[in-house]
Amino acid sequence: MAVRIQIYKWLLMVALWPLTSLLVPAWASGSLPAQNARLAYVQDCLVSIFENSSLTIQYGFINDIKDGNGFTAGRSGFTSKTGDMLELLIEYERLAPNNRLTRYIEPLKRVYGTSDTASISALKQDWLLAAKDDPLFKVAQDSVNDRLYRKPAQQVGQELGLQLPIAYAAIYETGIQHGYGENYDSITKIIERATKKLGGTPKDGLSELTWLHAFLKEREEDLRHPENKDYAPTFLHAVDRVRAIQTILSDRNYDLSKPITVTVYGDTFTF
């Protein structure tokens, strides 16, 4: 469930990510593994709740949720339209050559940029079996998720001058839904609009909480009024994602160290 058509242009950025690891918060650089692990745990819980209404990562989920993205599947909502599902299957093939899903790599290339699922309908059952039977499929999902979403979120946060774990969690989950392209509904443009309205970022000396609230407001505005009208029903439903982050902010749980309780799509989760 994401706007990620231009995802491949970010692969180069991700490859250069280690070069940007200077002058970042201690927890973000990995020098405090326990706190870093807590951030990753909260990020994963939030995305799993938002994507699959579960605290357990749903590696085996796959369905056409009728949002124009073809099949949506796995831990990050990888989609057949936007390229990240293809990226995943290529990584899985690297880890486990000639696996159950190898035969879908070429068909996924053909449906890239479309909502077609008819020509890859058998993928649904094979995806479920791969997630059930092969631990390497989960490893591949984790690897691609980190490369396409977690590391870019960390880099964006660093470039903005963010320090608070809650801010990094917000950037991460927004990136998964909206993607890092250049279209109006992308996280890239949401950040640009929020920053323009405030006249800067925390890196420029603005209050991080002020910037984060402006970012969330701009993100909610996009969810309610996306430029791509194909996403309108799904995006409107996803306003609860913003509400969940705002709940954590209201609890002043900025470092995510306290237990978190959020209500999303009518269900309440504590973690």
Name the residues annotated as catalytic.
51, 67
Q: Rounded to whole angstroms, how far apart are CA atoms 269 and 104?
A: 35
CA dihedral in degrees (87, 90, 91, 92; nearest 10)? 120
Q: Rounded to whole angstroms, how far apart are CA atoms 11 and 116?
A: 25
Q: Rounded to whole angstroms, how far apart are CA atoms 121 and 130?
A: 15
Residue pair 30/109 in contact by the 8 Å Cβ criterion: no
Take residue 40 and report the two structure tokens written for it.
């990753």
Give the DSSP H or E segment for 190.
helix 187-198
Burial class (CB in 10 A: 0-12, 13-18, 19+), 268: exposed
Residue pair 67/231 in contact by the 8 Å Cβ criterion: yes
